[in-house]
Chains A and B, each alone.
Chain A
């Protein structure tokens, strides 16, 4: 028997305080390889803070985040990204004055040294970045728009561009921050299909959503946050009937 490998991502008693406010309150959770996990919660539940704790934007007040058994404490966001954690942003953050292709390539560049810049034509890294960017653009259906300025894309296409940019880093864990926000029903259904396909290819996905619909549809497991605490962690059907979850979403009667 070999020892079981550590889970892909584990949160250990992680807490984050901002002054007197405890935004995330000793949350522990684990995500295994190949899972498609949803993270939901009402407004102000601490989803975004938890997200920032994982991606290295904010350091935890106590507790730690570990990725593949390795602590992320003290690492800067770019170092977390290089370990294989890719993310998208709730309010789109594409690079508007760059082409669609160049936007995606940024996700793959990582550590491009000066020698790569000067002798790129003959460098294997340059070819690799080019290949993976082309592949990811095709995957999200933006191949025809490669040379278009990102600023000229429609909202839905920008969302897909952000996902392609995140995928270009060949991540082990993809964290999507409210990918369905602002999308119409048709686009949301297409997005759900796309996320399911990513999982089918073996990618681990953490889906942070405000809206229950998409999460309940695609996720195998759902983590629910309310007031910074984890109040549920189970499959969608169980979570849907959990009294604590109903309470958090619908109020206790006096709300």
Chain B
């Protein structure tokens, strides 16, 4: 038997081959970023940073949706909470970057946990609809709470990242890349562990997981809070690297874009999150000549992927299967067993 203690016998376990592959990927990332820096194109650098931010968003959404089976349609809103938290703390209160970023994560996690408490008891598709509503509520708040968020005008002149006098595009890139790797490591540990197995059990059959001694409610809340925290950190990075944010960046469409990334890349897979995020961040940029029609490409890729690659590129469950089970399971019970 190939199952070794601490490795869970997972098909994609972190054996020596995977470790070498990961080292190679990190080296490739460093070379690519160094190349972009040498090329001195602000445009390419910004795309690289945005892509890395989307990798964090996709990986965090994949933790709750792909692994724990909680279909969230409001992840973009928690990204927005983090972005606004960082922007407001730095422009209004003058907090330094090294404080605003963790604060963005903490505030997003807090908002996530507060809205999660009532919705966590909803199972399956009802939960998805609730997150859709929460996302819209957050968007409407950002849009209409003009006194604080400046509404549709957005927040300008957000200070860039700065720690000990270090700043600039290269620094932005290094910080974003580092935090992305930390986020990926975190999600990897949370999923490639017995903790991850208990999250998978929620996805597969939460009432059964309950009967097996898993505290379903606590796990849902915990994983949702952590995913929101990572989305908030991504929001903070976004605010400090672009210097300008407005509610439009955190609408429903953004949540769907992140969801499309993990469906195309593969639900429940970290490599899937990375591939999906890179593909759907870079593709619209390549098609910039098409104007706003370029977003159709995202839809086409999603459609083709569901049609021909039901599990995405490297996923562990098929998206259709996940949705179908969510709709079908417990037609009478709208609430989970706990």
Q: A: which residues have CB within 8 A of B?
A: 55, 57, 76-78, 81-82, 86-87, 89, 93, 95-99, 101-102, 105-114, 116-118, 120-121, 125-127, 129-131, 133-134, 137, 143-144, 146-147, 165-166, 169
- Chain B, interface size category, equals 35 or more
16 pairs, A vs B, C-beta closer than 8 Å: A57-B211, A77-B337, A89-B208, A95-B204, A97-B204, A98-B197, A99-B9, A106-B212, A113-B195, A114-B222, A118-B186, A118-B189, A118-B190, A121-B6, A126-B6, A126-B193
* Min CB–CB distance B18 → chain A (angstroms): 15
Nearest B-chain residue to A115, judged by Cβ: B195
Does A127 lie within 8 Å of B5, measured CB to CB? yes
Chain B, 180-224, contact with A by CB distance < 8 Å: what is the 0/1 string? 000000100110011111101101110111111111100000100
Interface centre among B189, B190, B197, B317 (most CB of A within 10 A): B197
Across-interface contacts of A97 in B (CB, < 8 A): 200, 203-204, 316-317
Does B8 lie within 8 Å of A130, measured CB to CB? yes
* 6 closest Cβ pairs, A-B complex: A117-B195, A81-B213, A95-B204, A130-B5, A101-B9, A117-B193
Bound Cα distance from A117 to B6, whole angstroms:
10
Partner of B6, one of A76, A108, A130, A147: A130
Partner of A144, one of B1, B194, B197, B222: B1
Does B8 lie within 8 Å of A95, measured CB to CB? no
Across-interface contacts of B9 in A (CB, < 8 A): 99, 101-102, 146-147
Q: B: which residues have CB within 8 A of A?
A: 1-6, 8-11, 186, 189-190, 193-198, 200-201, 203-205, 207-216, 222, 316-317, 337-338
* Min CB–CB distance B45 → chain A (angstroms): 32
Across-interface contacts of A110 in B (CB, < 8 A): 213-214
Known: A99-B11, A101-B9. A147 touches B3 (CB 8 A): yes
Partner of A98, one of B186, B200, B207, B211: B200
Interface centre among A78, A95, A108, A143 (most CB of B within 10 A): A78
Partner of A102, one of B10, B207, B208, B317: B10
Bound Cα distance from A130 to B193, whole angstroms:
11
Told that A78-B212, A98-B200 touch, could you supply 18 new A-B pairs with CB distance under 8 A?
A78-B338, A81-B213, A89-B211, A102-B10, A105-B8, A109-B194, A110-B213, A112-B193, A116-B193, A116-B194, A120-B6, A120-B193, A120-B195, A133-B3, A147-B1, A147-B2, A147-B11, A165-B212
Across-interface contacts of B210 in A (CB, < 8 A): 76-78, 81
Bound Cα distance from A95 to B325, whole angstroms:
12
Partner of B3, one of A101, A106, A108: A101
Interface centre among B3, B209, B211 (most CB of A within 10 A): B211
Interface centre among A97, A114, A146, A165 (most CB of B within 10 A): A97
Across-interface contacts of B2 in A (CB, < 8 A): 146-147
* Min CB–CB distance A150 → chain B (angstroms): 9
Does B212 lie within 8 Å of A169, measured CB to CB? yes
* Min CB–CB distance B81 → chain A (angstroms): 22
Known: A97-B317, A117-B194, A120-B194. A109 touches B213 (CB 8 A): yes
Bound Cα distance from A132 to B11, whole angstroms:
20
Across-interface contacts of B208 in A (CB, < 8 A): 89, 93, 95
Bound Cα distance from A131 to B196, whole angstroms:
18
* Min CB–CB distance B184 → chain A (angstroms): 14
Across-interface contacts of A82 in B (CB, < 8 A): 213
Nearest A-chain residue to B185, judged by Cβ: A118
Nearest A-chain residue to B200, judged by Cβ: A98
Does B197 lie within 8 Å of A78, measured CB to CB? no
* Min CB–CB distance B279 → chain A (angstroms): 24
Across-interface contacts of A81 in B (CB, < 8 A): 210-213
Across-interface contacts of A112 in B (CB, < 8 A): 193-195, 198
Partner of B10, one of A86, A99, A109, A120: A99
Bound Cα distance from A77 to B136, whole angstroms:
35
Partner of B194, one of A77, A129, A131, A143: A129
Across-interface contacts of B213 in A (CB, < 8 A): 78, 81-82, 107, 109-111, 169
